[in-house]
Structure 1
Amino acid sequence: MVFCLALLHAGFIPAMLVFFIWALPGAIGMYALSLGVQSMSETLPQPAYALLSGLNASTVGIVALAAVQLAEKAIRDKLSRILVIFGACAGLCYNALWYFPVLMVIGGFATAIWDGWLYQQFLRAKLAWKNRHHRPQQADEANGDSIAMDDTTLEENGVQRSDTTIPTPPVEAALQQHIIRIRVGVLIICLFFASFIAILVVRGQLAAPPLVLDLFANMYLAGTVIFGGGPVVIPLLRSYVVDPGWVSSRDFLIGLAIIQAFPGPNFNFAVFLGALALQRSHFPTVFGAFLGGLGIFLPGITLAVAIQSFWRVLRKKKYVVDFLRGVNATAVGLVFTAVYRLWEIGYLTSERNNGQSLGKEPWWVVVAAVTYSGSAWFKVPPPVAIVMGAILGLCWYGAVGR
């Protein structure tokens, strides 16, 4: 009861209602698509595999472009460049439910430590090394200016003094009318993480957790660690629904291609995956669609409402901004991981229904490259690029006859 009152006071429940009303048409469409996919047989006509492979190749091109664009925004210095590479390489080497969140936290702490303390020590040591061979009188004359020189050098290298804060733009009057009290925000966050831990602990304690609990827990975890943009969640969702065997690689790729062709929030894709996850259970698939959408949406809106209460204070703290910058850079690296994983399963045939590498057929490399370059250089909209990929897939089938 206290939790509900806090959420209502913070504007959480009205926000949820507005979002669900806004996302309802897309969610209904994705659920309808899941019903169509469920009725598909395991073996499809040969032209269908060519069409799906073309869709997958063009999807890889779109996601690759998103990865590059996100990297351009996230990379501000050499450290963020290193973290993007770190996230991409580490994401390729191992895959587990807990692994991606841990990578992002490591990136955040690395940036906070480097920008907050280590880099300043490095610059001071560098200045001391340069001045150690100067004559004593020169050192005496420069003694009065040494502190100012240190501060100037640090500022020139993009490092602020520890007693400074990041300038905060003025808050608009409209936003001032919706300020949430700090104690309400803290209460919401505490209750959220308590529920998060409770769900994971209960699932871990059960020898055979119910499928609905497993599904909701995985979507809840994915919704909690979404950071850096929509494409970041792709490798997470694939790990959480394909690896357990709930959704086939083919069906996952179909939904991913459709969601790229008709852009919408990740909420819609989670609805599609949730419905497919329960298709072989005794639960109705609409319940899975509801659990998938709620699980991936609830953490984000809860944290957004709660953090709003003290974000005006946190954004003035340099170490908080540095931490988030590192998390964002590492998360962007995971998008490149998604590109590789989608590449390795994009080519569908009747013999390899779960997918194989697009590189086994040069034509799919051409489709991915054309999609990437068309969207990046000629501003071809993603829906058009996805449809072009499907048409090119059918053209390939017409040419090779298989």
Structure 2
Amino acid sequence: MPYLDILRAFLRLGLTSFGGPVAHIGYFRDEFVTRRQWVSDAQFTSWLAICQALPGPASSQLGFLIGLHRGGWVGAVLAWAGFTLPSAIALVLVAIYGLQLSGQWVDPVIDGLKLVAVVVVAQAVLGMFKSLCRHTLTRVLSVVGFAVALGLGGWSGQIGAILIGAMIGFLMIKHQVPGTGQAIRLNHVPSVRLGTALLIVMASVLLILPGLAATESGLQMFDAFYRAGALVFGGGHVVLPLLESATVSPGLVSSDAFLTGYSLAQAVPGPLFTFAAWLGALDTTMPGWGGALLALVAIFLPGLLLVTGVLPWWHTIVSKPWAFGLLAGVNATVVGVLAAAWVDPIVTTSVTSISSGLVATVGAALLLWRKYHVLVVVVSLPLLMVLFDWIGL
């Protein structure tokens, strides 16, 4: 019975996956490719390319696909719930019951958790480079992907890098590259009819709901969070301006509460999109647990409908012989895209002092050299930052 295993695996990730969407990809790869071997590297990077090319929370979409592959639709829902609910519940508890974090140790702990992301993503990038960039051309493409993603920035850089990799791979890689010949199809792919239905539902809600919500406050709230989830490219941080305009500008959530929740959302594990649960719990439209659940479902729903809706056509394309080169190019540039995201924003916003650089070096030694479990790093780095802050370094 895979359901309990799926829930247990994703619940553990939901409780320990600090560092944002790029770091989550590193955790996912370590858990499901390396340790559990539920999916191959080729499957992992192929599905990751889909998620990065579409709007929505890429790490949550990827987890949803892994759950779908392992246990069908029930497995997909369990994967989403296990990964999402721990941080969402924690944020809602703080929002409703007014538990306020205080003390000099808070900021160093948050800084330490950011440094965890630095070493986890570095491990993911190195592992994927060794596995997917085994030839000169694919290594060059990883560098191209890095340069384009870092140079252009945002979702345009990510999508541009992937498109360049696909085009060059299609034109220049004529032979099968190790890794791309493995089965990359999910075990439970939606039919073309179901995929079409999912895409129609996703688009219909996006287009029709604003008119229906004009006089109903609950629908207005759902529409605001649904629209934010449907239109955002590039990860959780990009959704913040949309959420701010939907909640703070109309006076539904105060500016101070918005910023406090944003800070806490970065301090808890799991997807940053769970920030919507904080806002829903405080939204004057439907405050409390009901608003939190409505906002949480609304912001995740469009991305999950979209990524599963395109699967029937995606797998028809990648089953063709000419897709080997295209996929090899995409996989190589995805490595570069992840490396660019590691540099900016992860390193640039996390390693900001001599002490943070020293702690990041310790974390790299623990994870990459000594091969300690990631939980050791998650505990050790915040403690070290608290210690350095206490002694004034």
Q: What interval of TM-score do these two structures reach, taking the shorter chain for normalisation?
A: 0.5 to 0.7
> Could you say which residue in structure 2 is the equivalent of 1:389?
381
Note if contact 2:170-2:329 (Cα within 8 Å) is conserved in structure 1: yes
* 1:108 shift after superposition: 1.2
Sort the Cα spacing of 1:300 and 1:384 in 2 relative to 1 into closer, same or farther, 3 A: farther
* Alpha-carbon distance change, 250 to 106 in structure 1, aligned in 2, over 3 angstroms: farther
Deviation at 1:322, TM superposition (A): 2.0
In structure 2, relative to structure 1, the CA distance for the partners of 1:258 and 1:274 (3 Å cut) is same
- Cα displacement string for residues 236-283 of structure 1 (whole angstroms, at most 9, x for unaligned residues): 222233686489788667545643xxxxxxxx5155233245455435
Unaligned runs of 5+ residues in structure 1 are 1-10, 117-157, 161-165, 226-234, 260-267, 347-357
TM-score, normalised to structure 2's length?
A: 0.61
TM-score (norm. length: structure 1): 0.60
- SS of alignment partner, residue 53 of structure 1: helix
- RMSD over equivalenced CA pairs, Å: 4.1
Cα distance between partner residues in 2 of 1:385 and 1:193: 41
The corresponding residue for 2:347 is: 343
Distance 1:337 1:279, change over 3 A: farther
The residue number in structure 2 matching 1:79 is 137
Deviations 1:25-78 (A, max 9, x none): 44332212222554466x953221111111211222212221222222221322
Alignment-derived partner of residue 59 in structure 1 = 117
Give the C-alpha shift of residue 23 in structure 1: 4.5
Letter in 2 for 1:239: V
Quote the Cα distance in structure 1 between the aligned partners of 2:151 and 2:258.
22
Q: Find the residue that maps to 2:109 and give its secondary structure.
A: helix
Task: Tell me, yes or no, if the aligned pair for 1:275 and 1:286 is still in contact at 8 Å.
Answer: yes
Q: Which residue number in structure 1 is paired with residue 92 of structure 2?
A: 35
Q: Is the 8 A contact 1:91 1:100 kept in 2?
A: yes
The higher relative CO (CA closer than 8 Å, separation ≥ 6) is in: 1
Instruction: Flag the 1:248–1:325 CA change in 2: closer, same or farther, 3 A.
Output: farther
Superposed, which structure 2 residues align to 1:1-400 within 5 Å?
15-36=72-93, 38=95, 39=98, 44-116=102-174, 158=175, 185-194=191-200, 212-213=222-223, 215-220=225-230, 236-241=235-240, 245=244, 255=265, 258-259=268-269, 268-269=270-271, 272-278=274-280, 281=283, 282-283=285-286, 284-304=291-311, 306=312, 311=315, 314-339=317-342, 340-346=344-350, 358-359=351-352, 361-400=353-392
Q: Deviations over 1:363-396 (max 9, x none)?
A: 1011112112211121111122011011101101
Question: 2-side partners of 1:54 and 1:275: how far apart?
Answer: 24
Mark the runs of 5 or more structure 2 residues left unpaired by the alignment: 1-67, 248-256
Tell me which residue corresponds to 1:230: none
> Mean alpha-carbon deviation: is it higher for 273-282 or for 317-326?
273-282
Q: Distance between the aligned counterparts of 1:254 and 1:71, measured in 2?
A: 33
Identical counterparts, % of pairs: 14
Distance 1:321 1:258 in 2: 39
CA distance in 1, matches of 2:135, 2:149: 21
Q: CA deviation at 1:82?
A: 2.5
